Chain A
Amino acid sequence: MNNIRNFSIIAHIDHGKSTLSDRLIQAADVISERQFHDQVLDTMDIERERGITIKSQTICLPWKTKDGRTYFLNLIDTPGHVDFSYEVSRALASCEGALLLIDASQGVEAQTLANLYLALEHDLEIIPVINKIDLPSADIERVKGQIAEDLGLDPETALLVSAKEGIGIDTVFEAIINRLPPPKGDPEAPLKGLIFDSHYDAFRGTVVHFRVFDGTLRAGETIRFMSNRAAYKVEEVGYFQLERIPQKQLSAGHVGYLIAGIKTVSDTRSGDTITHRDRPCEKPMPGFKEAKPVVFSSIYPVASDGYEDLAAALEKLKLNDASLIYEKDTSAALGFGFRCGFLGLLHLEVVQERLEREYDLSLILTAPSVRYRLHLSDGSIVVVDNPTMYPDPKDIIGAEEPFIRSTIYTPERYMGAIMQLCLERRGINKTYQYLTSDRLEMVFDLPLAEVIYDFYDRLKSITQGYGSFDYELLDYRDTDLVKVDILLNGERVDALSMLVHREKAEQRARRACEKLREEIPRQMFKIAIQGAIGGKVIARTTVSAFRKDVTAKCYGGDVTRKRKLLEKQKKGKKRMKMVGKVQVPQSAFLSVLRTDSE
């Protein structure tokens, strides 16, 4: 066991974790020249397209030191974006140490701190690594200062690295071996393994990713999941390289996978403890804290018969995304679906994209909402994140909404624009401070609801991509909340209702009405589109009726063509939803619910 090191690479977004992983992987020679490409651990399409890591990835690197000893280094590359911090915290649970990367020109940023705290919670040994020292703007001395002051670590222990240029990689290996402790645990004790992730393989069932803390697991043995007592005979164990590498056994201290013909998706749960059926350990591991979703939205299949597929897809996705939370939901307009909780807006987008790509679904997502606290006249407090659960306004005497403290890093020249954006979004400026002569840290308290509505895109666009943004949840504050309904010919479209601040109600309602007007095709009758608070209409527009819909000539040679047209439109109709007598194309829902353009 002394030859094992389990560690994560953690950092703020874009500080170079995946690039450093690339260098370590190449140095350990587990990948051929031909197989290699940049950020090789970012295997998902969305990761590659967006250039960010979304999933933690484990890889086992065999490493021979100069004096001939062989080590097994289990590296876990983690995501830097705050929405995926649940991935980081679970990865850390199977490690003894962490490399904390800091971009030599950006310095310490919000997630640098947040991830350091996570690592300290797990009692990990931390190695600070100053990365990107090749950059002309690298300021190693300033970063060292921050490491001492902001992180409370010894700056003299920091490694100086350029992952991109491959500078200092040897020192990284040395530090991993000499400064990180080997795992503890007893290979002879009853088996105790912690599930930190899993994924579904269509042929082999659930592939469980776990860390062995005690005991030894061999292929052919029967295990039990301690939370639900489900038992399975293990077909295969092994560790991860770029593929799965089967082994005879995994013993205490190792990180790897098991396959046991698990087809019941719900049996496997992140945080659960694996033990032997016949020689169980005494107590399960403490597992993980529940992920706390902050953004909520309902997901519906576009196809009216797509509910079962969606249910199956969510269950499988949940295996690989432990932070996803969902329960059944229904809508008069959209049918059966799921109310889902997300760790942030990016998380929401990623879930949508993964469902659509990996499970080939077409989806409609309702407007993202935060969780409000409503004080009712009977003295009770209800928590509402779904407009359809909004109580009768007569009974509501007060409302509170979640606030965040956001930290924005920006070149000085965008300060004014950012100030304006945040004030528009009901933000309160707390502080600002110059990091360098032209770089600024601005701190705002903002309603989370304003941030999940098109904030990040706006910030990126007004700062031309230079602004970075991070937040932490702060507290709940009083708010003036209303529920805006959207009506088509007087009929409420439940899936389009939204909870918004009164000041924003009219603008949001008008925008929704406009989008609907653009997307709803003319029909035989006039369609009134209205936005309303209770009975009071605050926005309205109309789609005029078409005046004829008739083919002038239809003789022998025209019949087939006409029939084909009708058949084609019928197919398209499957994507139409009925609201009363009005046919609403799903594109209309998508367009209203998309928040990107204002």
Chain B
Amino acid sequence: MVKEAFPIFDTLYIGGGTPTAMADRLLVRILEKAGSVFFFTDDPEVTVEANPGTVSKEQLDWLRQAGINRINIGAQSFRDDHLRFLGRIHTAREAENSIRLARGAGFADIGLDLIYGLPGQTEKAWIEDLAKALSFFPEHLSCYMLTFEKGTPLFADLAAGRVELCPEDTVAALFLKTSEFLRASGYLHYEISNFARSARLRSRHNRKYWTLAPTLGLGPSAHSFLNKPPTRWWNVDDPEIYLKTIEGDKRPVKETEVLTEAQSMTETLFLALRTADGIDTAAFDRRFSVSFDRMFGKLVSELTADGLLYPRGGRWAPTLRGMQFSDAIAQRLIDRI
């Protein structure tokens, strides 16, 4: 079934948790297995997620040789106090080292994850952090505002008053500043939290999520999506149950949802609004047999007048301010479905 639905892959992303913590040969065997079971295009984008402190030179060499051509390093910050606050096990020095190691191993496409909006963080401190990241000439940067997710230790700290929120004003200013600074340094701001040195270096894999392209997720709690009909399913969370199920030759699916037309439209819109490309109205009309202009024309002109959207080659794309209010804009569009 999977083979019919996914005839050919052009990306592979090994992430979630710390895959680089696996025994070297295991990771390589997974890659080999994937190559033999599925068809891949000639130049697939093959990414691995790595956490500083978990990679060695040898391992990086193995991974390169096994065909991995992109590495995304969860540096988060280049300050020890911030890393401690975030509960990371690595130090700033380890973060820097792992980037150097990756370069040394010949990775030509390195992505870094960074976090901002920490309590007490100033604009100056953040720009210093960013500048440090840029000194490694990463091909790709993901800069996330700090969020407090329910169930995390940070959330508990916040709830207990042990930490304070960074003021909304500051976070907003940091968001704008990040974009400004990275664009001035030659990066494309192509998604709310994602920057690439060129269009080619945008994450081919992650863009599939924002365009609702088919994706197949393997492993506990991995999500998959097929678009005819639009269907999403996700696996059980518990690794043990996951293993038992597949060993019994059953699908380890926890839940499946088939999207209604309205749900599909909702997702199409709010995901497109996350990207600099914005909403492709012609594709929207074809996909849903409706007129985007008739449905949203009036609202879109309002949003344009307010400097939140702008026309971009047959698309309605968010301005930087539009990205800053992406959820609110999405909501206003979706209210009209």
Contacts and interface: CB of A to CB of B under 8 A. Distances in A.
Interface residues of A, number: 24
B195 interface: no
Given A547-B169, A550-B175, A554-B271, A559 B209 contact: yes
Given A555-B206, A560-B257, A567-B266, A548 B172 contact: yes
Interface string B137-150: 00000001111000
A176 to B, nearest CB: 64
Given A524-B325, A547-B172, A566-B330, A552 B271 contact: no
Nearest to B269: A566
Contact of B335 (A546, A557, A570): A570
Given A553-B193, A556-B225, A563 B266 contact: yes
B331 A569 contact: yes
B326 interface: yes
B187 interface: no
B270 interface: yes
Contact of B331 (A546, A559, A570, A581): A570
Interface residues of B, number: 44
Contacts of A524: 306, 308, 325, 328
A93 to B, nearest CB: 54
Contacts of A546: 168, 328
Contacts of A550: 145, 175, 192, 323-327
Contacts of A566: 266, 270, 327, 330-331, 334
Contacts of B270: 562-563, 566
B88 interface: no
Contacts of A560: 232, 257
B267 interface: yes
Contact of B267 (A552, A563, A569): A563
B126 interface: no
Contacts of B144: 552-553
A573 interface: yes
A564 to B, nearest CB: 9
A570 B334 contact: yes
Contact of B325 (A549, A563, A567): A549
Nearest to A522: B168
Given A560-B257, A563-B267, A563-B270, A551 B327 contact: yes
B209 A554 contact: yes
Given A554-B271, A573-B331, 4 more contacts: A549-B324, A566-B266, A567-B266, A573-B335
29 contacts: A524-B328, A547-B169, A547-B171, A547-B324, A548-B168, A548-B171, A548-B175, A549-B328, A550-B192, A550-B327, A551-B327, A552-B145, A552-B146, A553-B144, A553-B193, A554-B210, A554-B271, A556-B222, A556-B223, A556-B224, A557-B222, A559-B209, A559-B267, A560-B232, A560-B257, A566-B266, A566-B331, A567-B334, A573-B331
Interface of A: 523-524, 546-557, 559-560, 562-563, 566-567, 569-570, 573, 581
Q: Which 5 pairs show the lowest CB-CB distances between chains A and B?
A: A547-B172, A556-B223, A549-B328, A548-B172, A552-B145
